[in-house]
Amino acid sequence: MTGADPGLLPGAPQPADRDTDALRTRIADLLERARVRTRGLTEAVDETDLVTQHSALMSPLVWDLAHVGSQEELWLVRDVGGREPLRPEIDGLYDAFQHSRASRVELPLLGPAEARAYVAEVRDKALDTLGASPLHGRRLVDQGFAFGMIVQHEQQHDETMLATHQLRTGAPVLHAPPPAEPAAAPVAAEVLVPGGPFTMGTDTEPWALDNERPAHVVDLPAFWIDTVPVTNGAYAAFVDAGGYDDPRWWSERGWAHKNEAGLAAPQFWTRDGAGWWRRRFGVLEPVRADEPVCHVCFFEAEAYAAWVGKRLPTEAEWEKAARFDPATGRSRRFPWGDDDASPAHANLGQRHLRPAPVGAYPAGASPLGVHQLVGDVWEWTGSGWHPYPGFTVFPYPEYSQVFFGGDYRVLRGGSFGTDAAAIRGTFRNWDHPVRRQIFAGFRCARDADPAAGQQGG
């Protein structure tokens, strides 16, 4: 900036100051939105439910509650704020790498009242830090990165706590209106994604995490991808056709897991005569045929794709279908463009507590005409969890680096349980291929004829 804006009154904030103040306000609003959701998920149940382990796959809800406070204290109060620790004696209790989820119920955790008081005290100190931070200069705070990291972290645990609610037994405690009905389902079953290069990942998204970086060019052959996620009705046809009893459709590992785990349908489904019912947050209801299928593991998705003569898309294929704009040759932030998600674009933010029927969000379609790539259900891809070329750790190796390789599979796009602040076109999620408690579904892809054409042609 070369001088004061002549339209400003003497002593008024300079434009850079106004921008910083606007960013502080936005961060404070996002921190509060996450905390409102955390309170809703933890206050919906009594103290017995809070301290109970509802599944060996999940932590007690009270652990998640104090853990989000612990991470906020470590990064915003101690590191960014330079303040003395509030409760250093509990650091180890809420270190996810020291204790497995199954063992956390045995720890001397903070009780519900103490955990609530702790996270409230941390938030007060974090907001003090936000008010004092310049939000530029040091990489950790530049453009509010550390605060955005904590917003995303709490929202991720809010989705984890929502999955715990789905696993708990007892009367329903969570309620939300259903999503809007679609005006009309998309007509085409598949979309052709042209072959050629596109930019994957990001160097410009200020709150992108290290595994989303750096931006790099990936050249893909043409492929077809499903216009919408695979629906309950389509998946039920696979089940009813004996898909779970035929090893032809399953990988060797998938067939072994199916038999060992006794899989016979998506988790939470039960058959009633000729139809299917499901349990959703304590409510038993008919399975709606036009919703994306949810609560299937990678191996089930892989088997269905084989049954229909297709495969799961690779992670790069998924991202190209979601972000590539053939008119400009550039990659967008989201399928619909560069604007943040709104309720018209995608089913996010735990507004509806279920996937929306396919075709419900035409405003969220990609330039190529692929629908519901963001929200509704996480989508399994065929890719393992690996770093991008040129990956560097930031700000700590335990977020991404320690998980690279091994057994994990990548999921993309977020779910109805994901907040808009915690998802974008470049966001990468990962989990073990056997996981079904997460809000995961999939769509299929297949190779295109080599003569199908290239970008720009």
**Domains of the chain: total:** 2
- Which pLDDT does position 452 carry in this prediction? 64
225 lies in some domain: yes
Question: Domain range holding 80?
Answer: 15-167
Task: State the Cα–Cα distance between residues 357 and 353, nearest whole angstrom.
Answer: 13
- Which pLDDT does position 3 carry in this prediction? 32
315 lies in some domain: yes
Pairing of strands 275-280, 269-272: antiparallel
Question: Token pair of 64, please?
Answer: 């998640």
Looking at the structure, do residues 156 and 201 belong to the same domain, yes or no?
no
Looking at the structure, do residues 70 and 214 belong to the same domain, yes or no?
no
**Average pLDDT, whole number, for the chain?**
94
Looking at the structure, do residues 151 and 279 belong to the same domain, yes or no?
no
**Closest residue by Cα to residue 344 from 323, 317, 321, 365:** 365
Mean pLDDT of 247-256: 98
234 pLDDT exceeds 60? Answer: yes
5 pLDDT exceeds 80? Answer: no
- Which pLDDT does position 18 carry in this prediction? 84
Question: Token pair of 70, please?
Answer: 């612990």
Looking at the structure, do residues 319 and 194 belong to the same domain, yes or no?
yes
The CATH number of whichever domain residue 99 belongs to comes to: 1.20.120.450
Looking at the structure, do residues 44 and 130 belong to the same domain, yes or no?
yes
Residue 162 near residue 345 (C-beta atoms within 8 A): no
250 lies in some domain: no
Looking at the structure, do residues 162 and 216 belong to the same domain, yes or no?
no
140 lies in some domain: yes
30 lies in some domain: yes
Q: Given the structure tokens 């989000």, which residue do they identify?
A: 68
Which is more confident, 41 or 12? 41
pLDDT-derived band at 7 (thresholds 50, 70, 90) equals very low
Looking at the structure, do residues 218 and 155 belong to the same domain, yes or no?
no
pLDDT tens figures, 287-300: 999 999 999 999 99
pLDDT tens figures, 107-125: 999 999 999 999 999 999 9
Looking at the structure, do residues 194 and 163 belong to the same domain, yes or no?
no
- Which pLDDT does position 450 carry in this prediction? 73
**Closest residue by Cα to residue 226 from 252, 262, 190:** 190
Looking at the structure, do residues 316 and 407 belong to the same domain, yes or no?
yes
Looking at the structure, do residues 83 and 214 belong to the same domain, yes or no?
no
Pairing of strands 223-226, 445-447: antiparallel
Q: Given the structure tokens 């990962």, which residue do they identify?
A: 430
Contacts of residue 12, Cβ cutoff 8 Å, sequence gap at least 6: none
pLDDT tens figures, 46-76: 999 999 999 999 999 999 999 999 999 999 9
- Which pLDDT does position 457 carry in this prediction? 42
Can you name the residues that pair with 269 across neighbouring β-strands?
278
- Which pLDDT does position 185 carry in this prediction? 79
The CATH number of whichever domain residue 204 belongs to comes to: 3.90.1580.10
Looking at the structure, do residues 288 and 370 belong to the same domain, yes or no?
yes
174 lies in some domain: no
254 lies in some domain: no
Looking at the structure, do residues 303 and 347 belong to the same domain, yes or no?
yes
Whether cis (ω within 30° of 0) applies to the bond prior to 395 is yes
1 pLDDT exceeds 60? Answer: no
10 pLDDT exceeds 50? Answer: no
Question: Token pair of 135, please?
Answer: 């939000």
239 lies in some domain: no
